[in-house]
Amino acid sequence: MQSWCSCCATQGPASNKDALFRGPCFRSSGLNWPKTEIFIIFFGYMNQNLRDNFPFFQANPGLVYLDSAATALKPTAVLQALNDYNVNQSVNIHRGVYRLSQRATDTVETVRAKTARYLSDAGDALAVFVKGTTEGFNLLAHTLTSPESRLKDFFPAFASEKPPAILLSESEHHANLVPWQVAAKRSGYKLVYLKADADGRIGVSSAEAAALFDSYAIRIVSLSLQSNVTGIIHDLAAIRELAAKHGAVFIVDAAQAAVHVPQKVKALNADFVVFSAHKLFASTGLGAVIGRKPVFDACDTYQTGGGMIALVEHESSTYLEAPARFEAGTQPIAEIYALGAAIDFVTENQKVIHETDEKLRLYADEKLGALEIRVFGLSAGASRSPIYSFEIPGVHAHDTGTLLDEQDICIRAGHHCCQLLMRSFGVAATARASFSVYNTQDDVDRLISGIGYVKKIFRK
């Protein structure tokens, strides 16, 4: 009888390369398994959806990871891509005339094209690599408010004589707030906010939104499609239309939406989309700003130095076109390889990812909704992904997090970089459990009994 590998579900000897990413394999222990047990393993494998792709769970058995909105775990394919670059290539890109460097350059450029296509349907869409969503917004805030940028031809609001303004919302992550505050102060822009309602939805009527565009010369609209606090997917269609009508730049923070609802990001046809690779099952230290190449080319530089210049003289320099224009210095090459593998992973598994999200959301909505705790944004129902911010009455979020950790449940506690939203909820902090494709209904049950334990300790 042939023996099967429990970790790869294939027959035959595992290669050394593959073995690097697996836990102990029973084949090496010499066990031969009967057919029924093979079926049970296979059925279990199918039931676990994509969980077996994540070696994290072999390294941390029994741990319930509910912090994917902060950073997602990495599947084997992503780890292999990181390893492939670091072990087999490890050379710099763009400047090498030798074949290995050219091969690495080709891979990076292929990932760049794949990244743009993942979140944009525009024919001339281009991905500029940055450190993450935060750096992406720093780049945009700097360059879009710079007098050196030539944006009037693309966005008529930049030709308006009225005092310029930037439209944000109270639901934004600080990454999409603070860079605009700094830029506004430096460049004389006014900041205008859409209010968040009691559930955390961007609660503004189309009439109110239209009035804002009439009152101010709004040049920039920058909003998150999906909240990292409540998981709510905001309905941005009307605001997007108004931005287009008034000739404003429309920017989407897709840090969460890139994972859960990439098609909705695309449907908005934003002028710029920003996201982080590490929330999309890839590595930290990388993200992208996706926009149209001609618009990037009309923009002022951000960081300067090697790799982005055409000609350097004593007093001044000229610059390359985008994307090189915005990518001074050596790029995180291994992380770009990993992003390519991550985009393949989510594209190939789009259906399972969506179904798992929905299954977990329905189950967790019911279970958490039945507890005597405050769950923020729960009423938004199907317009959400399974991200739950909650408050156990009378218990500080940090105590909740610490007591859940005692039970091997990893959640996040704090303001989640959304102090304006916390203020509108009337709290300083919440506990947040965020689910992903590797989570199971059992993880929801563990969270529910964990919350029961917290309540018992605090006698709530």
Q: Are 277 and 332 in contact (CB under 8 A)?
A: no
Q: Which residues pair with 430 in a beta bridge?
A: 414
Q: What is the pattern of x (binds ligand PLP, CB under 6 A) and - over residues 2-41?
A: ----------------------------------------
Give the helix ranges, DSSP H, for 188-250.
Answer: 206-215, 237-245
Active-site residue, 410 included: no
C-alpha span between 313 and 318 (Å, rounded) = 9
Q: What is the DSSP letter of 312?
A: E
Least CB distance to ligand PLP at residue 224 (A): 5
Least CB distance to ligand PLP at residue 131 (A): 7
User: Any contact of residue 134 with ligand PLP (CB under 6 A)?
Assistant: yes
DSSP E strand stretches across 147-246: 164-169, 190-194, 217-224
User: Any contact of residue 169 with ligand PLP (CB under 6 A)?
Assistant: no
**Quick one: which segment of 22-30, 159-167, 168-176, 235-243 binds ligand PLP (CB under 6 A)?**
168-176
| Candidate residues 253, 335, 391, 443; the one interacting with ligand PLP per rule CB under 6 A | 253
Tokens 């670059």 correspond to what residue?
85
User: Any contact of residue 132 with ligand PLP (CB under 6 A)?
Assistant: yes
C-alpha span between 254 and 279 (Å, rounded) = 10
The structure tokens listed for 65 are 């990871």
Q: Which residues pair with 431 in a beta bridge?
A: 390, 413
Q: CB-wise, 158 or 180, nearer to ligand PLP?
A: 180
User: Any contact of residue 222 with ligand PLP (CB under 6 A)?
Assistant: no
Q: Are 252 and 265 in contact (CB under 8 A)?
A: yes
**Quick one: which segment of 52-60, 172-180, 309-317, 428-436 binds ligand PLP (CB under 6 A)?**
172-180
Determine which one of 5, 7, 299, 417 is catalytic.
Answer: 417
Helix pair 178-187, 133-144: axis angle to 10 deg = 10
Least CB distance to ligand PLP at residue 194 (A): 15
Least CB distance to ligand PLP at residue 102 (A): 31
C-alpha span between 41 and 356 (Å, rounded) = 20
Binding residues for ligand PLP, rule CB under 6 A, total 13
The structure tokens listed for 53 are 């792709």
**Quick one: which segment of 50-58, 169-177, 330-338, 399-407 binds ligand PLP (CB under 6 A)?**
169-177
Residue 163 to residues 27, 138, 148, 184, Cα–Cα distance (Å): 71, 22, 18, 11
| Candidate residues 50, 93, 166, 175; the one interacting with ligand PLP per rule CB under 6 A | 175
| Candidate residues 68, 256, 385, 389; the one interacting with ligand PLP per rule CB under 6 A | 256
CA-based max dimension of the chain: 80
- Residues 6+ positions from 397 with CB-CB distance below 8 Å: 391, 413, 414, 429, 430, 431
User: Any contact of residue 173 with ligand PLP (CB under 6 A)?
Assistant: yes
User: Any contact of residue 280 with ligand PLP (CB under 6 A)?
Assistant: no
**Residues in 38-77 at the binding interface with ligand PLP, rule: CB under 6 A:** 70
**Quick one: which segment of 54-62, 171-179, 335-343, 345-353 binds ligand PLP (CB under 6 A)?**
171-179
Residues engaged in binding ligand PLP (CB under 6 A): 70, 132-134, 173, 175-176, 224, 228, 253, 255-256, 276
| Catalytic residue list | 417
